[in-house]
């Protein structure tokens, strides 16, 4: 019988577990990435790729900075205080996490045209691309900061308040949560590298676009693989100094500091300024592209088309989302068990998962196609099914699940496992009776959150979907070239409304669970 105390002891098994997990997460991309080293062209990444990389850096830095400036104060305020309309505003600010980035770019482009602004205006080119990515980044920073704030110890907040009032609370909480906010800001910048959509639409092409050219115009998988690896390497080099600075804080920030967590409270000064601040950020990041995106729907709402597309794709969309959530969470749990108790492994795990995350989604999807094509036909239910799509999506989004579960695992005191071992409880019983029920809520949060983000994917689904099994966003994506603007807007509106409802339901459920568990 294996003792549960084994889970708390150091050993090489932790490192091996993390490496195995990272290999599993990166496995869809490996078949294509190994092509980078095939052939006789050395590590040629194509002429002019460095110029596009520089552009991507500009956009990445701009989007990250804007996201930090807008998202961090909002996350801090929303984490520390309660104020009117908070849930609604937070649900709306979560929308960019659930909606494909190209829709925001199209929204900005359509708004600029509708307003009669020049192509050199704020809403297009480099600035427009920064704005499109900042919508996503702001959400990431806001929620990372909010969660980090809510994980602060109640006693520490009380002490700060007694020592210097609310300003002191803000200063203390700001310092304590900055690593989480900065890490989310870094992630926002990384995402912009891999995603060519907004830059293509708004006229500011970056490295992601060049990879797309290698795939879609040159059909040169080897070149695309080398370019993807080059991005990963450069991002690693670029992010290293920041990770070095943030690393220790970050890996501790991921762990709850106390079992008695702070609770947000009402404050007269925030009851007015809180909604104003979140509303302002909502206006800047979301209202502009959303207005451009859905405005044409008010000239003609294509209800019949919405119903037809929803009927055809709703089942697939839900399947991809739920299964991706389950896969990401299932893969993350063993990795997290291996990494939680060792600060270096926690950081190594996060960095490795982020590097996988920065690869363009097409790399994983085309790698999976290559494997499926080489596999025998009897394996099709595994390698060429909706399940395959969801697995590839889930593996790509494992970092989200890992971050949520690292926090949860950190809250499980090591004494539980040692007590269980002393009382002769076996590992499986410990897992079944104690650890898994303790992790049930974060596991559910992870499944739902990954699921919602997965539904927004278009590249993976477009390339891997079994014929006739597209998702709602892919259906929007495939009609928008030539469909009337009002039809595209109607479908986009339907998806955004569905996303807002899902985000609201998640916020309500999350709050219910919090208050329930606090009783």
Partner 1 sequence: MNDRTLRVVAALVGLVFVSSCSESPDARSEVVIYTSVDEIFARPIAARFETETGIRVLLVPDTEETKSTGLLNRLIAERARPQADVFWSGDPVRAAILKSRGISEPYQSPQAEDLPTLYSDADGHWTGFSARARVLIYNTDLVPEREQPTSVMDLVDPRFRDRSAIANPLFGTTSMHAAALFQVLGPERAREFFERFIENGGTIVSSNGEVRRRVAAGDFAIGITDTDDFNVALLEGRPVRAVYPDQDGMGTLVIPNAAVLIAGAPNPAAGRRFIDFVLRPETEQALAESEAAQIPLRPSVPAPERVARLSEIRAMSVNYTTLGDELEDLSAGFLADWVARNSE
Q: Is 204 in the site for partner 1 (CB under 8 A)?
A: yes
C-alpha distances in Å from residue 340, one per residue of 17, 260, 377, 474: 12, 20, 40, 37
Residue among 14, 346, 386, 407 that touches partner 1 (CB under 8 A): 386
What are the φ/ψ torsions at residue 81 (nearest 5 degrees)?
A: -130, 160
Q: Cβ closer to partner 1: 232 or 313?
A: 313
Q: Is 197 in the site for partner 1 (CB under 8 A)?
A: yes
The least CB distance from residue 216 to partner 1, in Å, is 5
Q: Is 457 in the site for partner 1 (CB under 8 A)?
A: no
Judged by CB under 8 A, the stretch of 2-10, 281-289, 340-348, 380-388 that binds partner 1 is 380-388
Q: Across the strands, what pairs with 82?
A: 266
Q: Is 372 in the site for partner 1 (CB under 8 A)?
A: yes
Q: Is 387 in the site for partner 1 (CB under 8 A)?
A: yes
Rounded CA-CA distance 405/329 in Å is 8
Q: Is 304 in the site for partner 1 (CB under 8 A)?
A: no
Classify the phi-psi angles of 412: left when phi > 0, otherwise alpha if psi is within -120 to 50, otherwise beta: beta
Judged by CB under 8 A, the stretch of 61-69, 255-263, 407-415, 483-491 that binds partner 1 is 483-491
Query: What x-and-dash track marks residues 4-43 binding partner 1 by CB under 8 A?
Result: ----------------------------------------
Classify the phi-psi angles of 48: left when phi > 0, otherwise alpha if psi is within -120 to 50, otherwise beta: left
Q: Is 201 in the site for partner 1 (CB under 8 A)?
A: yes
Q: Cα dihedral sign for 254, 257, 263, 268?
A: negative
Judged by CB under 8 A, the stretch of 137-145, 244-252, 469-477, 500-508 that binds partner 1 is 469-477
User: Cβ(116)–Cβ(42) under 8 Å?
Assistant: no
The least CB distance from residue 257 to partner 1, in Å, is 22
Q: Across the strands, what pairs with 265?
A: 81
The least CB distance from residue 309 to partner 1, in Å, is 10
Q: Cβ closer to partner 1: 24 or 126?
A: 126
The least CB distance from residue 67 to partner 1, in Å, is 22
Q: Which residue has the tokens 């045209």?
A: 113
Residue among 369, 435, 493, 506 that touches partner 1 (CB under 8 A): 369
Q: Is 59 in the site for partner 1 (CB under 8 A)?
A: no
The least CB distance from residue 167 to partner 1, in Å, is 36
Subset of residues 328 to 347 that bind partner 1, contact rule: CB under 8 A? none
Residue among 1, 12, 40, 219 that touches partner 1 (CB under 8 A): 219
User: Cβ(455)–Cβ(420) under 8 Å?
Assistant: no
Say which residues have a Cβ less than 8 Å from residue 246's Cβ, sequence separation at least 6: 179, 182, 183, 186
Of 321, 297, 317, the residue nearest 106 (C-alpha)? 297
Rounded CA-CA distance 33/20 in Å is 18
The least CB distance from residue 333 to partner 1, in Å, is 12
Rounded CA-CA distance 177/175 in Å is 6
Subset of residues 80 to 139 that bind partner 1, contact rule: CB under 8 A? 102, 105, 109-110, 113, 116, 118-119, 125-126
Rounded CA-CA distance 87/93 in Å is 10
Q: Where are the alpha helices (DSSP H) in 119-267?
A: 125-150, 154-194, 197-202, 207-212, 221-253
Q: Is 217 in the site for partner 1 (CB under 8 A)?
A: yes
Q: Is 412 in the site for partner 1 (CB under 8 A)?
A: no
The least CB distance from residue 115 to partner 1, in Å, is 10
Of 288, 286, 343, the residue nearest 139 (C-alpha)? 286
The least CB distance from residue 169 to partner 1, in Å, is 30
Rounded CA-CA distance 33/475 in Å is 29
Query: What x-and-dash track marks residues 259-288 binding partner 1 by CB under 8 A?
Result: ------------------------------
Q: Could you say which DSSP state residue 258 is in?
A: -
The least CB distance from residue 382 to partner 1, in Å, is 9
Say which residues have a Cβ less than 8 Å from residue 42's Cβ, sequence separation at least 6: none
Q: Cβ closer to partner 1: 252 or 319?
A: 319
Residue among 15, 385, 419, 504 that touches partner 1 (CB under 8 A): 385
| CA dihedral of 402, 404, 406, 412, whole degrees rounded to 10 | -140
Residue among 75, 230, 399, 470 that touches partner 1 (CB under 8 A): 470
Residue among 47, 259, 268, 311 that touches partner 1 (CB under 8 A): 47
Q: Cβ closer to partner 1: 158 or 380?
A: 380
Residue among 465, 471, 490, 492 that touches partner 1 (CB under 8 A): 465
Q: What is the DSSP string of 291-327?
A: HHHHGGGGT---HHHHHHHHHHHHHHHHHHHHHHHHH
Judged by CB under 8 A, the stretch of 155-163, 175-183, 203-211, 279-287 that binds partner 1 is 203-211
Q: Could you say which DSSP state residue 121 is in?
A: S
Size of the site for partner 1 (CB under 8 A): 85
As given in the structure block, the two tokens for residue 436 are 């898994």
Query: What x-and-dash track marks residues 435-454 binding partner 1 by CB under 8 A?
Result: -xxx-xx-xx--x-------
Rounded CA-CA distance 369/259 in Å is 46
What are the φ/ψ torsions at residue 82 (nearest 5 degrees)?
A: -110, 140
């Amino acid at each position: 019988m294996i003792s549960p105390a084994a889970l708390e002891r150091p050993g090489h098994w932790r490192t091996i577990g993390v490496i195995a997990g990272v290999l599993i997460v990166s496995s869809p991309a490996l078949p294509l990435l190994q092509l980078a080293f095939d052939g006789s062209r050395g590590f040629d990444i194509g002429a002019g790729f460095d110029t596009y990389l520089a552009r991507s850096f500009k956009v990445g830095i701009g989007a990250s900075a804007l996201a930090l400036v807008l998202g961090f104060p909002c996350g801090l305020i929303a984490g520390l205080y309660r104020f009117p309309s908070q849930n609604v505003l937070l649900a709306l600010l979560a929308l960019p996490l659930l909606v494909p980035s190209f829709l925001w770019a199209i929204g900005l482009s359509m708004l600029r045209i509708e307003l009669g602004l020049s192509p050199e205006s704020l809403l297009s080119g480099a600035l427009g691309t920064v704005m499109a990515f900042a919508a996503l980044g702001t959400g990431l920073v806001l929620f990372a900061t909010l969660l980090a704030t809510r994980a602060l110890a109640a006693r520490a907040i009380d002490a700060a308040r007694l020592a210097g009032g609310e300003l002191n609370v803000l200063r203390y909480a700001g310092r304590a949560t900055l690593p989480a906010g900065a890490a989310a800001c870094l992630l926002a910048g990384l995402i912009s590298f891999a995603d060519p959509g907004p830059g293509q639409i708004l006229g500011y092409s970056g490295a992601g676009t060049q990879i797309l050219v290698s795939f879609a115009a040159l059909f040169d998988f080897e070149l695309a693989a080398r370019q993807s690896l080059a991005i990963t390497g450069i991002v690693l080099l670029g992010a290293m100094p920041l990770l070095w600075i943030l690393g220790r804080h970050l890996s501790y920030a991921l762990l709850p500091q106390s079992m008695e967590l702070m609770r947000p409270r009402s404050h007269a000064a925030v009851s007015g300024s809180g909604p104003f601040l979140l509303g302002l950020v909502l206006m800047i990041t979301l209202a502009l592209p959303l207005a451009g995106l859905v405005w044409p729907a008010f000239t003609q709402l294509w209800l019949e088309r919405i119903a037809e597309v929803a009927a055809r794709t709703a089942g697939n969309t839900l399947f991809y989302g739920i299964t991706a959530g389950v896969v990401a969470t299932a893969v993350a749990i063993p990795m997290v068990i291996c990494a939680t108790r060792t600060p270096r492994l926690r950081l190594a795990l996060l960095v490795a998962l982020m590097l996988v995350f920065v690869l363009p989604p097409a790399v994983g999807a085309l790698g999976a196609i290559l494997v499926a094509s080489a596999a025998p036909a009897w394996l099709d239910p595994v390698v060429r099914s909706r399940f395959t799509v969801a697995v590839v999506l889930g593996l790509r989004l494992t970092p989200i699940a890992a971050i949520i579960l690292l926090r949860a695992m950190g809250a499980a005191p090591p004494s539980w496992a040692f007590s269980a071992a002393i009382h002769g409880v076996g590992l499986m019983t410990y897992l079944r009776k104690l650890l898994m029920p303790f992790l049930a809520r974060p596991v559910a949060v992870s499944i739902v959150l990954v699921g919602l983000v997965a539904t927004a994917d278009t590249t993976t689904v477009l390339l891997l979907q079994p014929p006739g099994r597209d998702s709602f966003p892919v259906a929007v994506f495939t009609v928008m070239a030539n469909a009337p603007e009002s039809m595209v807007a109607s479908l986009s509106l339907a998806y955004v409304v569905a996303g807002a409802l899902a985000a609201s339901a998640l916020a309500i459920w999350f709050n219910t669970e919090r208050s329930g568990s606090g009783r």
